[in-house]
Amino acid sequence: MKKIIISLCVLLSSTLFFSCSEGDNPIDYVLENTQNGGGNLRTIKVDNPSIATGDANAKFQVNLEVQDANDGQNTERIDVYVRFIDNSAGNGSNPKTEALLKSIPASAFTAGTRELPFATVSVSIAELKTKFALTDSQYTGGDVFVIRLAQVLKDGRIFTRANSNSNIVGGAYFNSPFQYNANVVCPITESLAGTHTFVTTNMKAAGAACGTSVSGSVVFGATATPGVYTISDLSFGMFGSSCYGDNPAFSASSRVTWFCSNLIASGTDQYGDSYTYTIVAAAGPTITINWRSTYNDSGTTVLTRQGGANWPTDFMR
């Protein structure tokens, strides 16, 4: 894995050099030689990552750079699939299986900044309610709308998260997860941005017990969206402990979102793995989080808020 990443970095550096003299995009050579002329949808910016309750105009929206071996011209459309995860037991059980919501044709793409087209994927709560026949009372904070994208090329090939490697899905350059969680959130009353301290125990690496405990700090960075924060380490020190001795679990897409009585991790770490957080206890300035990744790493973290301030009362419910 490390050799592959190093080779990719060298390749990108080389192609960047030649692009100055030949006018080619660095992505051209990379795609031709790493994906057999395939494609990916590079995340430029997630404008609206969550859906707030009580807002009839709420929507999820992400801006993408359409990449393929022909500067985006091989892409015919982007198919947008959605499903609904009902995590709130108090209003009945209304999960919905995945369904095709709509397709975005190449004719709707706009000119990008690097000779590659941009595509905007916008999914409104109105569209979701109609597709799934949901009423306002059937979704609430803690529920999740999953938006999955499929890049359909003109030759019939389809690229999704399922057939893309970790460099494509979670890499800092490509950052093309093909899937996003639009968390249903409650109104935000304060900022959780800050440098918080942690103690992580009960650590397991790929399901096997490792280490004893690790302590340190994690940064929740403010973003343009209230309640959504960058997070400097999705594993709360576990990656840097004796379990792995690795860099913090982080990529450009790593986020944590406050919704009602929980924190939701989104995006991926540098290896393309996503995380699930569950707050199991809360009192004053501390909350206890059980967490697990799709690689089956896990741990229990006691997180103390910066300056000893109390966490929101929602966490105490």
Local confidence pLDDT in tens for the 317 residues of the chain: 333 333 444 444 444 433 433 344 545 544 554 445 689 999 999 999 999 887 899 999 999 999 999 999 999 999 999 999 999 876 788 999 999 999 999 999 999 888 899 999 999 999 999 999 999 889 988 899 999 999 999 999 999 988 877 777 766 667 889 999 999 988 788 999 999 999 999 999 999 999 899 999 999 999 999 999 999 999 999 999 999 999 999 999 999 999 777 899 999 999 999 999 999 999 999 999 999 999 999 999 999 999 999 998 778 76
Is the CATH code 2.60.40.10 the one for domain 25-185? yes
pLDDT in tens, 110-141: 998 888 999 999 999 999 999 999 998 899 88
pLDDT score recorded for residue 317:
60
CA triple 120-265-200, angle to 5 deg: 155
For CATH 2.60.40.10, list the domain ranges present in the chain: 25-185
pLDDT score recorded for residue 166:
76
CA triple 31-36-40, angle to 5 deg: 45
Helical axes 26-34 vs 2-22, angle rounded to 10°: 140
pLDDT score recorded for residue 12:
44
Question: Top-level CATH class of 194-316?
Answer: mainly beta
| Closest residue by Cα to residue 203 from 240, 246, 243, 232 | 243
Model's pTM, two decimal places?
A: 0.55
For CATH 2.40.128, list the domain ranges present in the chain: 194-316
| Closest residue by Cα to residue 100 from 123, 72, 117 | 123
> Per DSSP, what are the bridge partners of residue 205?
208
